[in-house]
Amino acid sequence: MAPTSLLIANGIGSPAIRTAIRNQRILRLERGLLALPGADPEFVAARRSWALLTCISAGKRYGLWLLHEPAKPHYWHTNGRRTGNFVSHRAALVQRPLDEPVAALPDVLLHSLLCLPALESLVMVECAVNRGDIELSWLLGHLPGRRCGKARNVLAKVDRGADSLLETLARVLFRDAGIRVETQVWIDGIGRVDFLLEGFLIVELDGLAFHLDPRQFKKDRRRDNAAVL
């Protein structure tokens, strides 16, 4: 997708553009905006709104953990133009966006912290932090004032030890229930366990992939037996 002016600036004349549109090699989305056939529908919708995908709508573009797909798209824009039903984000961007109509990762995370319910934004941020994509201190530095108190409370719950969305959810729910939780604890004779609750109860979270691997399944059962002993 590109503005018509960009193609002209790169030496493609208006007659050639009109011919490509007639032959359906290029689609005219609207006046001044062109796309190739088969362009990503989410990108097309964002471009038509002269907006950027952000918040939860941009999460999957960065491979972030998501609790669910958004009910409606989340866009960043400043033009006041509405061409559909979407959630609008207008906070000033802190980083230049990509060539695609997607906000940069730092802005996506900031928008999610200021927009989404706490648990939904937490899993997105914790995924990015654990991959080394961003630092908590950077996010905190861009969330000053009382208006950002909820977002700072979410950041206070981020743990660097989580390996999966499931671990993040379990840890938060355990702690919200008032249970003392230690994560990624090393126990002699067993190894590293996902959780140790109240200093004595071991909790391991195994996804389906582990149970489908016979060797991993046997290894987990040996660890379970050692933990019982």
pLDDT tens for the chain, 229 residues long, are: 667 777 778 788 888 877 877 777 887 777 777 777 877 888 888 888 889 999 999 999 999 999 999 999 999 987 655 556 889 998 889 999 877 899 999 999 999 999 999 999 999 999 999 999 999 999 999 999 888 999 999 999 998 878 889 999 999 999 999 999 999 899 998 888 889 999 999 998 876 655 567 787 787 788 888 888 8
Q: Is residue 87 within a helix (H) or strand (E), and if so which, with residue range?
A: strand 87-89
Compute the distance between CA of residue 157 and CA of residue 176 in angstroms, rounded to an integer.
11
- Quick one: which of 126, 96, 93 has its CA closest to 107? 93
Residue 54 neighbours by CB under 8 Å, 6+ apart: 74, 75, 76, 89, 102, 103, 107, 108, 111
pLDDT recorded at residue 208: 61
The reported pLDDT for the residue numbered 43 is 86
Q: Show the DSSP H helices in the chain as ranges.
A: 4-9, 14-22, 41-48, 55-59, 105-115, 118-130, 136-141, 149-155, 165-176, 208-212, 214-228
Structure-block tokens of residue 49: 């709104």
